[in-house]
A and B are shown apart, each in its own frame.
Chain A
Amino acid sequence: MPKTILTVDDSASIRQMVSFTLKGAGYTVTEAVDGQDGLDKARSGSFNLIFTDQNMPRMDGLTLIKQLRAMPQYRSVPILMLTTESSEAMKSQGRAAGATGWLVKPFDPQKLLDVVRKVIG
């Protein structure tokens, strides 16, 4: 069964790129347009890996991660922050929220694939 990935980003172009790249590599990808949408989709589906942006309308990435970690089925699912902010402050906030790691934007599709393969195989 293909691994499932949820990508949460308010930018349609980034979403499209992530989704296209990962689908091309055989993963099943679901897109969400902001944190709230991501949470709803996570609730109604099940994912092996979640990518989330930080700055989004309605609900930001950190809040989303905290909410997901409070749900039993996502307690130990890898969640990566896909963000332009990679300051130490951001990282420690991510760590505190329960993120598994981060990936800095901009990144290229190959990089994304490498990371995904590393994290969920």
Chain B
Amino acid sequence: MSIDMSQFYQVFFEETAEHLANMENLLLNIDIGNPDLEELNAIFRAAHSIKGGAGTFGFTDMAEVTHVLETLLDRLRKQELAPTDEMIDAFLKAGDVLKMQLAAHQDEGDVDEVQVVEVCELLDRLASGEASAEVVASTPDETTSAVEPAVSGHRWLITFRPDETFSADAEALEALFTDLAAMGTLERLSDGSDGCHRLALTGELGAEAIADTFAFVCEPEQVSITPDDGLAPATTAAEADDDAFGVFDGAPGSEHIGEDEQGFGFFDDAPGSERLAEQAHDQEDDGFGLFGGSPGMEQVAEVAEQERAEQAQGYGFFDGAAGTPAAADSPAAPAAAGGSKPPASRTPARAVPGGGGSSGGNGNKKPAAAAAESSIRVSVEKVDQLINLVGELVITHAMLAQSAEVLDPVTNERIFNGLSNLERNSRDLQQAVMSIRMMPISFVFSRFPRVVRDTAANLKKKVELKLIGEDTELDKGLIEKLADPLNHLVRNSIDHGIESPEQRRAAGKPEKGEIILRASHQGGNIVIEISDDGAGLNREKLLAKAAERGIPMAENPSDKEVWQLIFAAGFSTAEKVTDISGRGVGMDVVRRNIEEMNGRVEIESEPGRGTRILIRLPLTLAILDGMSVRVGDEIFIAPLTAILESIQPQTEQLKTVSGKGRVVHVRGEYLPLVVLHEVFHIDARCTRPEEGIVVILESNEGKAALMVDELVAQHQVVIKSLESNYRKIEGVSGATIMGDGRVALILDIDALVRLSQKGA
């Protein structure tokens, strides 16, 4: 039977990408000084899973990298080595290499072999070069002097979990350690503060002798003794390849496979072995084994009896493994059957039963696999098509409703009922379809721990990143467009916001700066906040720079206006240009990107306390809550989120100010007046502001007043791109189709304000 493995590749790719992301996350969160064993286990498990899959599906390059990665991780989680910054860096690099290899397997890039070799060598060196365990002096919590253990004889790793009464008895403990020390060179790898003592004993002695020593003080389950073979990573295994089964070169355990037959075996003595030889003996074969006498061997033996011929081809069974009711004397408790020691032929009593010390542990991997099974993958085009159709439906409804307006509501009650049902249903449908496109913002946020780490390291600053509201959902299109601007803002915060550790200390702040990325819903908007506790913006410096650059500023500008200067093209206040945030190219691009998403950027800053940048975005790029306004015969849509209020100004409120054109004086503020019919050259019905309506708008350029003939109504409008259907027009962000079938333009408030200032 030949099975095409490529059909499983996609799942493997997705799963591996998830493991890599997860691993990176965990690595970035690790506390070097006090690593969480559970986290180390979870990282190990991720590497381990990748290795298993890569080996199975034939991606040997990835399996090789994960193998060296796993070797080092294994030593960390067994607490034979303490994690260092260098290791974390090496792990991150290995993660990058794996990502590169993964991409190459998906035909999305090439592998740089030099990097692969480099990272493998680095990991090898870290795992073996520093192989000597750190010896903990008898005082706990001091992992200072690393003493080379005596190399003669065997090195045994002992994990000892005494019960409470014993561990409370310091004298008894010391006596035990003295006994052990008499047998060879004793190193205490942990102080036992977590209830578990980890020891290493080197000398000419066997596990039995050690076990005997412990037998006086505790139950056998409380101690596990394993030979320390971590010093020699498995690299020697010859490729064991026979017709049907292959074993990975250098895969862990394959060195044993060489000795056994090849990696398959049964446990001797496992329950079930009484009846037949097969049942009673360990059986080993390439990559598979049965424990003779283990539970279940009865069935195996039966099958074997029937199929003797096949059986001869090569499996191995262990003599006397636990599990077969007859072989084990205590069939009721097979777990305890480990006590009936197998003829110690191949297994030199490496672990005392019950010593599950190195077992995987429980990670925090979400039940993603289970969730994945109840989801389907659909191409984005299909979803977009659906959204378009819903948009058409909304427009059709608007047309129907408009046509029905002439009907008598009493005689046509059923039509009106139907229309209102249609409206409700299409709104629900629209929401449901929109939610398909919604993704949690963690898709963007998740890259930042790494960005912050790398950028801060580059600039020799200490920065901690906090992510808040990662589950906040927004449109996939927005998520994609948000990545670059956010990246820029975060790097900018580290570069210009957060001070050097020395400066921070001098200012009485903690050395470690903090950057918070927060996402939340506010009304119909998504608000993304990037705040730092750095030096804040410098008003004088910004103003001086503006003067130098010839950027026109009002005489006594508000802080808000000054802060907006950082978004001006070619504006940088950095004393020296770094490769991180460049030469001021970028911040203007950031704002433009955000404005393209119909978003707004606000800055708040306090000298010495830090800077907060707020990005407000609409929930989606497809639908807009708008106010329709009339100018002459034309209808325009103003985004509702920008509208503060509407007034009919009195003549005395209107003034002309040199350099600013006409302004409207509203409650002590002078707002620039944008006359829509002048911007678009339309014959308006009202030419004087006091005849029409002035809509007060909030924009990136500050508040402004927009003069129109009249307000018509509030709508939800479906946004159609003008650029893809016609061409870009300054002052207009898109178009929509109204209920009567006419096209209305959607106003781009920021651009309009700029446009009218230029004209003034």
* Chain A residues in the interface with B (C-beta under 8 A): 10-17, 20-21, 24-25, 33, 37, 48-49, 53-63, 66, 69-70, 74-80, 84-111, 113-115, 117-121
Contacts and interface: CB of A to CB of B under 8 A. Distances in A.
Interface in B182-226: 226
A92 B265 CA distance: 12
A118 B369 contact: no
Contacts of A12: 11, 14-15, 369, 372
Contacts of A104: 247, 251, 253-254, 257, 263-264, 287-288
Nearest to B288: A103
Interface in B393-423: none
Contacts of A77: 295-296, 299
Given A76-B298, A98-B271, A86 B335 contact: no
B267 interface: yes
Nearest to B366: A57
B325 interface: yes
A113 B338 CA distance: 29
B426 to A, nearest CB: 38
Interface in B1-15: 1-3, 5, 7-8, 11-12, 14-15
Interface stretch (B356-364, B502-510, B746-754): B356-364
A95 B257 contact: no
Task: Classify the interface of chain B: helix, strand, loop or mixed.
Answer: mixed
A20 B8 contact: yes
Contacts of B8: 13, 16-17, 20
A24 B302 CA distance: 24
Contact of B369 (A10, A76, A96, A106): A10
A15 B369 CA distance: 10
Of B48, B257, B302, which is in contact with the most chain A CB atoms at under 10 Å from its CB? Answer: B48
Contact of B226 (A20, A89, A101): A89
Contacts of A70: 333, 335
B713 interface: no
A17 B55 CA distance: 13
Contacts of A20: 3, 7-8
Given A24-B3, A92-B338, A95-B322, 9 more contacts: A69-B295, A80-B290, A91-B289, A99-B267, A99-B323, A100-B296, A103-B288, A105-B52, A106-B248
Contacts of A54: 359-360
B359 A76 contact: no
Given A17-B56, A104-B287, A113-B1, A86 B254 contact: yes
Interface in B419-445: none
Interface string B294-332: 111111101110110011000101100111110000011
Contacts of A24: 1, 3
A92 B299 contact: no
B294 A99 contact: yes
15 contacts: A57-B362, A61-B359, A69-B334, A75-B334, A84-B251, A92-B350, A96-B337, A100-B290, A100-B294, A104-B247, A105-B55, A111-B244, A111-B288, A117-B307, A119-B290
A96 B288 contact: no
B323 A98 contact: yes
A12 B16 CA distance: 10
A13 B8 CA distance: 6
Contact of A121 (B44, B294, B303): B303
Of A84, A108, A113, which is in contact with the most chain B CB atoms at under 10 Å from its CB? Answer: A84
Nearest to A103: B288
Contact of B323 (A84, A89, A100): A100
A92 B226 CA distance: 11
A77 to B, nearest CB: 6
Contacts of B318: 95, 101
A110 B3 CA distance: 8
B584 interface: no
Nearest to A121: B303
A88 B346 contact: yes
B45 interface: yes
Given A55-B360, A84-B51, A89-B226, A96 B367 contact: no
Of B287, B297, B361, which is in contact with the most chain A CB atoms at under 10 Å from its CB? Answer: B287
B291 A101 contact: yes
A86 B290 contact: no
Given A10-B365, A14-B52, A104-B288, A76 B271 contact: yes
Contacts of B707: none
B724 interface: no
B351 interface: yes
Contacts of B254: 86, 104
Contact of A110 (B244, B252, B264, B325): B244
A121 to B, nearest CB: 4
B296 A78 contact: yes
Contact of A17 (B5, B246, B269, B307): B5
Contacts of A63: 356, 359
Given A16-B8, A84-B52, A106-B248, A98 B264 contact: no
B356 A93 contact: yes
A-B CB proximity, top 4 nearest: A78-B296, A86-B253, A106-B55, A96-B338
B324 A76 contact: yes
B243 to A, nearest CB: 9
A46 to B, nearest CB: 14
Nearest to A70: B335
A109 B1 contact: yes
A95 B63 CA distance: 27
A79 B1 contact: no
B473 interface: no
B697 to A, nearest CB: 51
Given A16-B11, A88-B347, A95-B321, A118 B362 contact: no
Of A17, A21, A74, A105, which is in contact with the most chain B CB atoms at under 10 Å from its CB? Answer: A105
Of A62, A94, A104, which is in contact with the most chain B CB atoms at under 10 Å from its CB? Answer: A104
Contacts of A98: 270-271, 294-295, 322-323, 334-335, 337
A100 B362 contact: no
Of A53, A59, A62, A101, which is in contact with the most chain B CB atoms at under 10 Å from its CB? Answer: A101
A86 B630 CA distance: 78
Contacts of A107: 56, 245, 287-288
